[in-house]
């Protein structure tokens, strides 16, 4: 058994959220993330032989067929995680009652659909706060995986939001606290007063992995291509005892492949063919599976608890 571990997550953000990020009219949004993207990831994980966690938005279950799709994920042995009720990008800024509703109601809805406990949480936009972390653990979650300590991502996000503001376009996304840039890169016990630093009684955090400045996420793999993605992943495997690799369901969608709304071309990775992305992602996951024990995060958290 490899001492090094890894986990793979997929944020199942419906296309409407991408319209909101780019300030577009979402009336043309479809359910392609669930209907097409998720099955492609299930096929990918089956080929590589790894379990994953799918972080789901509870309001998406109002769309016909999505409750059955969540149950199918759980039946296949994958974990279902909480990605909130409405995917509010400003979740970390909400008042206590609204925040609690976003977290606790989503957990109840997702557990009912999955027929299994939902114990992991990821905040929309990777934005968190002391109040949000407290809410996450008070509502029965065992871990959080919302911290993304990646300077290139943070700066790129700031640039895009600034560019949109200058052009009078409103994005639902927010930048979040710069404290994330100095957060630990390995799993850690959080401070109860600051989720971006180590401490006691704040709960366990599994940050999204960054290797030599490269985020180990689907959009970065797509932009880099196969060779550089494998090189970055190899660095991560050498530097870290645990890798938290993250995708979005839309990472395996394509504008041309899936006849998506051309307005979504503002999302550059959607212009890359699904076949090319699939090859890159499979190569990365094959490498990780050879050098680490890939587990669901709920499994690793329970193992961690058993050892303490």
Q: Encode pLDDT of 106-133 as tens digits.
A: 999 999 999 999 999 999 989 999 999 9
Q: Is 131 helix (H, G, I), strand (E, B) or coil?
A: helix
> Is residue 159 predicted with pLDDT exceeding 50?
yes
pLDDT reported for residue 170: 63
Model confidence at 307, pLDDT cuts 50, 70, 90, reads: low
Mean pLDDT in residue range 83-88 = 96
What does the pLDDT look like over 161-177, one tens digit per residue?
565 566 676 666 665 77
- So what's the pLDDT on residue 1? 40
pLDDT score, position 200: 83
Q: Can you tell me the distance from the alpha carbon of 145 to that of 245, in angstroms, rounded to the nearest whole number? A: 11
Does residue 153 have a pLDDT over 70?
Answer: no
Determine the Cα–Cα distance for residues 224 and 216; give it in Å rounded to an integer. Answer: 11
pLDDT at residue 24, as a whole number: 86
* Bridging pattern class, strands 188-191 and 201-205: antiparallel
Q: Give the pLDDT confidence score for residue 270 in this predicted structure.
A: 96
Q: Which residue has the higher pLDDT, 159 or 55?
A: 55
CA distance 20 to 236: 32
Average pLDDT, the chain: 92
Q: Give the residue with greater pLDDT, 3 vs 54.
A: 54
pLDDT at position 164 is 59
In whole angstroms, give the CA distance from residue 234 to residue 187: 19
> Which phi and psi (to 5°) does residue 56 adopt?
-110, 150
Burial class from Cβ neighbours inside 10 Å (0-12, 13-18, 19+) for residue 149 reads buried
pLDDT above 90 as % of the chain: 79
And the tokens for 45?
A: 């994980």
Mean pLDDT of all residues in 251-273: 95
The average pLDDT across 190-195 equals 94
With b for 16 or more beta-carbon neighbours within 10 A and e for fewer, the 229-238 pattern comes to: bbebbebbbe
Given a contact cutoff of 8 angstroms between Cβ atoms, the answer to whether 288 and 245 are in contact is: yes
Domains of the chain (ranges; CATH) run 5-307 (3.20.20.370)
Q: Can you list the positions of beta strands (E) in 102-185?
A: 120-121, 143-144
Q: Using pLDDT thresholds of 50, 70 and 90, give the confidence band for residue 202.
A: confident
């Amino acid at each position: 058994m490899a001492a090094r571990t890894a986990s793979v997550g997929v944020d199942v953000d419906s296309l409407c959220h991408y319209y909101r990020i780019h300030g577009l009219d979402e009336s043309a949004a479809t359910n392609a993330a669930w209907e097409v993207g998720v099955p492609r990831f299930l096929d990918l994980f089956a080929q590589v032989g790894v379990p994953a966690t799918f972080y789901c938005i509870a309001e998406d279950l109002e769309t016909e067929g999505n409750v059955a799709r969540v149950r199918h994920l759980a039946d296949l042995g994958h974990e279902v995680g909480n990605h909130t009720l409405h995917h509010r990008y400003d979740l970390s800024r909400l008042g206590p009652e609204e925040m609690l509703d976003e977290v606790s109601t989503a957990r109840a809805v997702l557990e009912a659909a999955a027929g299994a406990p939902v114990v992991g949480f990821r905040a929309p936009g990777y934005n968190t706060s002391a109040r949000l972390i407290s809410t996450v653990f008070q509502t029965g979650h065992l871990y959080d995986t919302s911290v993304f300590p990646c300077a290139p991502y943070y700066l790129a996000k700031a640039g895009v939001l600034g560019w949109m503001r200058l052009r009078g376009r409103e994005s639902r996304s927010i930048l979040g606290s710069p404290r994330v840039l100095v957060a630990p890169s390995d799993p850690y016990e959080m401070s109860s007063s600051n989720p971006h630093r180590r401490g006691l009684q704040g709960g366990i955090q599994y940050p999204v992995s960054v290797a030599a400045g490269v985020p180990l996420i689907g959009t970065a793999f797509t932009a880099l291509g196969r060779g550089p993605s494998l090189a970055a992943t190899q660095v991560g495997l050498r530097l870290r005892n645990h890798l938290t690799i993250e995708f979005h369901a839309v990472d395996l969608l394509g504008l041309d492949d899936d006849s998506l709304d051309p307005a979504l071309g503002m999302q550059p990775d959607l212009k890359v063919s699904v076949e090319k992305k699939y090859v890159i992602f499979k190569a990365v996951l094959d490498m990780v599976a050879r050098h680490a024990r890939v587990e669901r995060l709920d499994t690793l958290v329970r193992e961690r608890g058993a050892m303490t």
